[in-house]
Every structure is written in structure tokens, then in C-alpha cells.
A and B are shown apart, each in its own frame.
Chain A
């Protein structure tokens, strides 16, 4: 049913069209009533006063509060994903190891950190850092919390990516006498990496949203949400600040999501017939170095 959800109902005739129109009007009235309620309440509180919205358009608000907060959010997210990726790859590969105890240890680590809320991990990381180094580091506690959780999630993504590769890849590598580490490092991982790129970008959305946890409890990391809260308290326009940063988060995440689907489309296209060669020739343009070429050469049997 994936291609066409309209399969659920007939093409509307005169009666159905009238019913749909009535439903539309009723829904519109409900929606308008809800919006009116919000508008009236806010208006009664004087929240539409231009004085309260003006700070959003003043450079001072941005340079003092919002930009440092946004930078802290992006910094924490980027550091986390850069550290979490290799850890995830390591754990994912370890879960596919031939040695039972390696598999077992990796599985316990992955399942443990996936079962615990990120905020709990952050509070733990904060105290751990404080105990070891004698000073508090909000950034480190946020990053450690995010790495522990997302490293485990990415481990599962890696594992699924490697397992999705056709068996022929493993068999062919063995046939030409590659060692297990050569097979993993040169054949399986590069292919899995390109196949799972969209999933990694999607995970970035989760990481970006979770940085907002860093502003709570002990951590007190001055990320975007917390910075906006400070701005709202000082400028007495909390509502406006929250609306603004909600828009910032939504735009950033929608950009990431559309990047992910773009990558997915591109990868899938690169694996089909005549276009294959074009992608191979312009491997760099498609966002990959030599690894991209490996994927595309053998991509015929690969399922994304």
C-alpha cells in the first residue's frame, strides 16, 4: 500500500465531496477556535506587544545569548557524533565477532547503555568527571552522556548495515584469502558505512535534540534552550524566546532530515544500472572517496 494511500477510499462522488467539505469546515472551525483561544489568552497578557518581540531582531540578543547557546548546542552534538561513530563501529563489529566472549561483552555494553535515559548518563558523567578531575565540566558531561548512548545506538546501526550486505561479499573476500580484519576493514565496513549514512544523519537529529537535556539538573550546560531561558528572564520575554528557539531547532532538524533522505535517494540511485558508471566516475562529487567506488562497483547485488 506504500505507493498510494488513496487506495483506502473511493474517488469521492457528489455525496462524499459534500461530506468531506462539511468535515473540512468542522475541522477548520475547531482549529480556528483553538488558535483563537491561544491568541485571546496571549493578547490578554499583552504578549503581542512589539516591545517583547523586538529583541528577536536585535543583534545584541543574538550575540549575548542566542549565538553562544546555539554554538554550544552544535559543538556538543558534533563532538558527540565524531566520538560516537568510531565507538559505534567498534562495538558493532565486536557484536559480529567470531569469539563468543567478545560478542558477549559488546552486547552487554550496548544493551546496558541503550536501556538508560541519556539524562541519567549525563548526571553520572558530571559526577564522574568531578570526582576524577576535581572540577566540573558541563560540556564533558553532556558529551560523555551522548556518546555512551549514541555509541550504543550506532553500534546497532553498524551491525544492521554489515548484516544487510550480501553473503557473497564475505565469501569472495575469504576466497581471495583476505584475513578477517582485512575483510572487515576493506570490504564490509566501507560498504556498510555508505549504506548506513542516512541512518547516521537521522541519528544526528536525535543527538541535536538531546543536547537540550544538558541544560537541566547538575550539568547546567549553557546550550540553546538554557541560553534562551536566560535571555527570556533578563529581557522578560520568555515566551518569545522559546518560540524563536523552537523554530531554530525545527529548521535545523528538518534540514538534517532532508539531507538524510537526499543521501538515501542518491545512494539508491547510484546502485542501479546505467547511472552506476556516472556515479563511479564522479565518486568525489557523490560525497565519497575510494570507498564510494568500491560500493558502486559491487553495488549491483547490494540492498540499501
Chain B
């Protein structure tokens, strides 16, 4: 099998994978925060917040990620004029702007989408905490934010590490959808390579598949171990 494309500077495979890793990194942090907030709202005493969280999760979760990412560019940026990057001078400035803008729009799209799955995972984690924990916390006079923040969520997080690992792995794979609006990632590069080096398509697929296995496998194994270690024994 011919792997000569690996040394071809036209095909920056590692750089493209680095793009996916960066997308994953920022999206994961954002989705964890937004997802926790959504889960907190879902169990809060304020009916409006509960309603909002429920509606948000059910709408966004049922929309294809492809559509969300494209709407980030064509609705949020083109129509609503949301700028997430500043434009420098000259042609290079315009190129840099488009790169940063689309990268950040993609990250925002991934955060909005992935947070719904994080929220659902945390909510199911809250369900694994025995009611006595919250009742005891309330009995000693804690208010809702304390019950949730000090007693329930720390236990819930321990229970949801395994489901969150699946969400993270799904996110790593989903970052390829950024290809719809952002060029510096692996799916778009793969399509270009497939067109130009069609005779080596099996080798190209093997290399890129291997890349994803290298990215996802350790996450699953590592977080699986962590999940076992921190699990609350009941």
C-alpha cells in the first residue's frame, strides 16, 4: 500500500487533526458548563427555568448537528451579524478573521448541541443519588443551591463520568461536522485527498481511521478507569 501522501506538504494531516482536537477542547469545556447549568435549571424550584431547560434540550437534541453548524454561519453570523473575532487589516486580516470566526462559530454550535446530552447525563446522575441525601441536607437547613452544589451534584458527577465519557467521544467524532463551515479539520482534508489521490483511498482511510482510534480509545479506557475509581459504592 502506498502511503506516500503522508509526506506531501499539501496534505497537513496532523495539523488537521490538531484542528479537531482544538474544537473538541473548547467545545467540551463549554458544553460541560452549559450542560450543568441546564441540568441545574431542570431540577430548580423556578417553573420558568425548568420549562426553558426542558424545551431547549428537546429542541436542540432533535435537530441535526449539521443543520446547527450551518445555521451558526448562515443565521447567527450572516443574518444576526454576531462577530466572535476581530478583523485585521488587508487580505491576510480577512483570511484570519474568517478562520477565527468560523472556528468560534463551530465551537459555539458544538457547545449548544453537546450541552443537551451533558444535561441529560447529569440529570440521570442526579437520579442515582438516594433521596435521603437531599432530605438530610434539607433537614440541616441547606437551601436549594447548597443541596445541589454541596451534596447532590458532587455525588451525581461521580456517577456520570462513564456517560460523560461517551458524550466526549461522540463530541470528538462530531467535530468533523465542522467541515460544513470550517476548513482546517480532518473530514474536509480527507475529502480533498480522496479526490486528488483516489488510487490510494484505502490507505488514506486507514490513516484517518487510525487517527480517530488513537483519539477516542484512550479517552474511553482512561475515563472508564476513573469512573470505576470514583464511583460511590452503595
Contacts and interface: CB of A to CB of B under 8 A. Distances in A.
A127 B198 contact: yes
A112 B209 contact: yes
Contacts of B209: 112, 115-116, 120
A128 interface: yes
13 contacts: A8-B148, A20-B45, A120-B187, A131-B198, A131-B201, A209-B65, A213-B66, A218-B194, A242-B74, A246-B63, A249-B63, A254-B58, A254-B62
Nearest to B68: A246
A245 interface: yes
Contacts of B91: none
Interface stretch (B5-13, B28-36, B128-136): B128-136
Interface string A1-22: 1101111111010001000100
B212 A216 contact: no
Nearest to A229: B70
Interface residues of A, number: 60
B52 A218 contact: no
Interface in A90-138: 112, 115-120, 123-124, 126-128, 130-131
Contacts of B127: 1-2
A1 B134 contact: yes
B80 A225 contact: no
Most chain B beta carbons < 10 A, residue from A12, A23, A127 = A127
Judged by DSSP, the binding face of A is helix
B52 A123 contact: no
Interface string B31-56: 00000000000010111110010000
Top 8 nearest A-B pairs by Cβ distance? A253-B62, A212-B64, A212-B66, A117-B173, A209-B64, A9-B144, A217-B191, A127-B201
Contacts of B134: 1, 7-8
A262 interface: no
A239 B74 contact: yes
A133 to B, nearest CB: 13
Nearest to A22: B46
A245 B212 contact: no
B152 A8 contact: yes
B46 A27 contact: yes
Interface of A: 1-2, 4-10, 12, 16, 20, 23-24, 27-28, 31, 37-38, 41-42, 45, 47, 112, 115-120, 123-124, 126-128, 130-131, 205, 208-213, 215-218, 225, 229, 238-239, 242, 245-246, 249-250, 253-254, 257
Contact of B66 (A6, A10, A215): A215
B2 interface: no
A23 B105 CA distance: 30
Most chain A beta carbons < 10 A, residue from B59, B66, B126, B130 = B66
Contacts of B64: 208-213, 225, 249
B70 to A, nearest CB: 7
Contacts of B187: 117, 119-120, 123, 216-217
B205 to A, nearest CB: 5
B152 A250 contact: no
Given A7-B135, A239-B75, A242-B71, A27 B49 contact: yes
B198 A130 contact: yes
Contacts of B71: 242, 246
Contact of B79 (A16, A37, A47, A250): A47
Contacts of B135: 7
Nearest to A252: B62
A212 B65 CA distance: 8
B174 interface: yes
A21 to B, nearest CB: 9
Contacts of B216: 115
B176 A117 contact: yes
B74 A27 contact: no
A87 B135 CA distance: 48
Contact of B180 (A47, A208, A216): A216
A5 B131 CA distance: 9
A117 to B, nearest CB: 4
B223 to A, nearest CB: 15
Contacts of A7: 131, 134-135
Contacts of A115: 169, 173, 209, 212-213, 216-217
A201 to B, nearest CB: 14
B46 A23 contact: yes
Interface in B94-150: 126-131, 134-135, 138, 143-144, 147-148
Contacts of B80: 37-38, 41-42
A27 B43 CA distance: 15
Contacts of B138: 9-10
